[in-house]
Structure 1
């Protein structure tokens, strides 16, 4: 039931909890008909491709690129290097070149279309491509020469992108860095210049996002910690370096969308404008929570002013997720859709930076490479282009179901021996029609779950709840309001 995603697992020692979790993950995979394993013909094709990639002529192994990811990640899609350019900057962003290994219609490609994207949950991963590619030959691992799509984006002194070129190049990452280590180096002032510039460019891009009217919700994420027979869940706030790094990915997605819209061919990520009725409803929610929302303040500015460490504001953040529903994809070749914008980003936008993990990124990247080279978009791209939105939409729904089921399993496993106990919490969501039902956030352990009462739930207020259900077999957790 929780709306926050499990971002990663820390497993200190194997034990009963880990085994129970793994058994539950197998059950979830069977229910959704997904598997981390690949048919033998796909594995064999991937192994052959890993041994014989199509290497580019351009050699840019001189660039001191680095990857920045969670420390356990091995499917490294992106490597970056930033340098000054007068008053502005040059951002080099290398993206794994999956098409150097995977040919249209081969077994790996066919299986990737069936899967759509990598599924994540706790210590489980259902990858889009076999690991011999996604975590080895095609991954931008350190000290390895790799084919990549190299984006070179010039950024001016206020953080606006001014020019972009993407081309196939051979690259070599210098280091595999993690968020915590990079944040520490930047805070201490010991980071390399490229990483210090990541902060500069990231902060400028955040300012441009605000000026543009874009918004992202500061939802807390949940982290699973396994230690033998003990399971813990913790809320984890995003580090500043994660936000700066995300802004480089967004910058690249904006540049890709600009290229494709200008050429009238491509694949965009979309989100419709917020429904005015939802905005009015959120104004009422803000009043109920005692949060001032002046009529002249637009919702992106209102959301940016929220402090999720305050209970009422945390409830408001969860309520605002209603505005970001309905995301999708649109493909076009010859006629740009009437309104292809991503409303939350306040711009046209394309996914191009994670081709190891998302099928559509490979196609959008190929379009951009062809456009920058002045060549026709490959036929294998245009042939599949209009089928991709439906494929990606379905894989996105499957990913949401998978991640939600895994988190429900972890929460039920964590709480199964505490039925009948009381917990302090905050009601963060209330059903508009059945106001006696909603969602409560419990801080210790860090759980979001259904809550019911025999009276109207007090939205955004501190409450005490009793755990009434915690069943790992059904993955159900439910609380009841006390008093």
Structure 2
């Protein structure tokens, strides 16, 4: 969710509830003085890489106001070859294995996002300054170069450490406007064609991109509202750059017989059936003869109900984890949503595991052994990421519960049209289309039933929403 609650006074019930969620989960509020001092010392001791790519006109595309910039890109067409250069923040230049900052990062695992702000993985002197690919600043980076054939498939890949300098920090809105108006520079103008090619490759391998709508909690006329923003078409294109990078990183590590993959099983039949009922209740039925990847690609991102269906599709993308290996390949190497082996390799400022993947891939492509500190960390990384991913899920779930209770707090006693998407002991789970909310209902119900549900509880403090059959 997009943090939009900072302007609200803490006396507001929802703002208080969100603070309580952080406290209940015992989330850190700041870095210790020891960690901050160690981060400052690491920045002061920084030595830039020898390669200089500052003449390449990279640019960043991020949500407006972002300061922790992991990626910068540049595209060019040479004959039939499309070249994509992707600079990723070189976090290992400031976070040394075994250091105080490294130890703290292993505790945190990832940046946590809440409606009222974020809890960063690294001290801001690193994540929002020294390592961030800020426009006009020379920064160290892992620079991927991908040469693509006419179908968009990567036919040659390199990865090196180099100094880079982003020319400009764009927002998604800015770049989408430049492309729509036909005035984008050559690099940005190539993004739609790149996205088209990679989307077709995804379709052919059975993958499914889930471009979830942003959710923003806003206050309109003293009432709470949950707004969903449709992603810009451009965002799917930039997502494919990251997906391609992760697929290439996985290939490199599998060929080198050492690394860590992002894996996920395909959704089971019960999950698919529940999702099918849920989207039907939203007025977005899923045809029986269509796979879920194709279905998600057909949804209209400008339609609020379609956006809700896309958000509901998160149920199909459960069970993801990390699989480390050294020597023999693991039994499962596929990420089902991607439809191929995949690794996280593009967000080291915000995710612990990416730092190790990048170092491993750079070493292997250079013909060097993967550093000992990377190999030693591999067995622990899946546990660290699982623990912190669980914490992130708890934070999101508790925050959404509080927000939905706030949205409904003035409507206790009202009745709503709903569809039962699954059965539970003593009741079930219903999908309401207006407002778009999924909640528990008490009573004898069956999956697929259309029912009238009466709201009996909407408690913001506990995030409790309860319905009964009307």
- TM-score, with normalisation over the residues of structure 1? 0.88
Deviation of the 1:325 alpha carbon: 1.6
Cα RMSD (Å): 2.9
Candidates 109, 123, 127, aligned match of 2:102: 109
Give the conservation status (yes or no) of the 8 Å contact 1:78–1:353: yes
Give the conservation status (yes or no) of the 8 Å contact 1:63–1:171: yes
Deviations 1:100-119 (A, max 9, x none): 00111111100000110010
Deviation of the 1:453 alpha carbon: 5.5
**Is 1:467 matched up with 2:467?**
no
**Is 1:439 matched up with 2:430?**
yes
Give the conservation status (yes or no) of the 8 Å contact 2:29–2:119: yes
Partner of 2:19: 26
Candidates 259, 262, 266, aligned match of 2:252: 259
Deviation of the 1:313 alpha carbon: 6.9
> Mapping of 1:204-219 within 5 angstroms?
204-217=197-210, 219=212
> Mapping of 1:241-320 within 5 angstroms?
241-276=234-269, 278-279=271-272, 291=285, 293-294=287-288, 297-306=290-299
Give the conservation status (yes or no) of the 8 Å contact 1:315–1:460: no
Return the alpha-carbon distance in structure 1 between the equivalents of residues 209 and 425 of structure 2. 29
Return the alpha-carbon distance in structure 1 between the equivalents of residues 135 and 279 of structure 2. 48
Partner of 2:71: 78
Structure 2: which 5+ runs fail to align? none
**Is 1:121 matched up with 2:114?**
yes
Give the conservation status (yes or no) of the 8 Å contact 1:412–1:470: yes
Give the conservation status (yes or no) of the 8 Å contact 2:228–2:304: no
| Matched position secondary structure for 2:167 | strand
Give the conservation status (yes or no) of the 8 Å contact 1:83–1:194: yes
Give the conservation status (yes or no) of the 8 Å contact 2:213–2:310: no
> Mapping of 1:35-434 within 5 angstroms?
35-217=28-210, 219-226=212-219, 231-276=224-269, 278-279=271-272, 291=285, 293-294=287-288, 297-306=290-299, 321-422=314-415, 426-427=418-419, 430-434=421-425
Deviations 1:16-55 (A, max 9, x none): 3675454333322221121130111001111222233231
Q: How many residues matched? A: 469
Deviation of the 1:8 alpha carbon: 3.7
Give the conservation status (yes or no) of the 8 Å contact 2:72–2:133: yes
Deviations 1:281-323 (A, max 9, x none): 767888998947445x444334434557779977876675443
Change (3 A) 1:70 1:465: farther
Return the alpha-carbon distance in structure 2 between the equivalents of residues 460 and 194 of structure 1. 51
Deviations 1:219-251 (A, max 9, x none): 544212257965431122221111111010001
| Matched position secondary structure for 2:369 | coil
Deviation of the 1:406 alpha carbon: 1.9
Deviation of the 1:179 alpha carbon: 1.0
Deviation of the 1:181 alpha carbon: 1.5
Partner of 2:445: 456
| Matched position secondary structure for 2:87 | strand
Q: Relative contact order, CA 8 A, sep 6+: which one is greater?
A: 1
Q: Which moved more, 1:333-342 or 1:145-154?
A: 333-342
Give the conservation status (yes or no) of the 8 Å contact 2:440–2:465: no
Deviations 1:387-441 (A, max 9, x none): 111111111111111122222223333443443345x5653x6223559421334
Return the alpha-carbon distance in structure 1 between the equivalents of residues 382 and 294 of structure 2. 31
Deviation of the 1:332 alpha carbon: 1.0
Structure 1: which 5+ runs fail to align? 1-5
Return the alpha-carbon distance in structure 2 between the equivalents of residues 7 and 366 of structure 1. 31
Deviation of the 1:57 alpha carbon: 0.5
Deviations 1:323-371 (A, max 9, x none): 3221100111111113311011110000010000000000000001101
| Matched position secondary structure for 1:84 | strand
| Matched position secondary structure for 1:7 | coil
| Matched position secondary structure for 1:374 | coil
- TM-score, with normalisation over the residues of structure 2? 0.90
Return the alpha-carbon distance in structure 2 between the equivalents of residues 439 and 90 of structure 1. 48
Q: Which moved more, 1:405-414 or 1:165-174?
A: 405-414
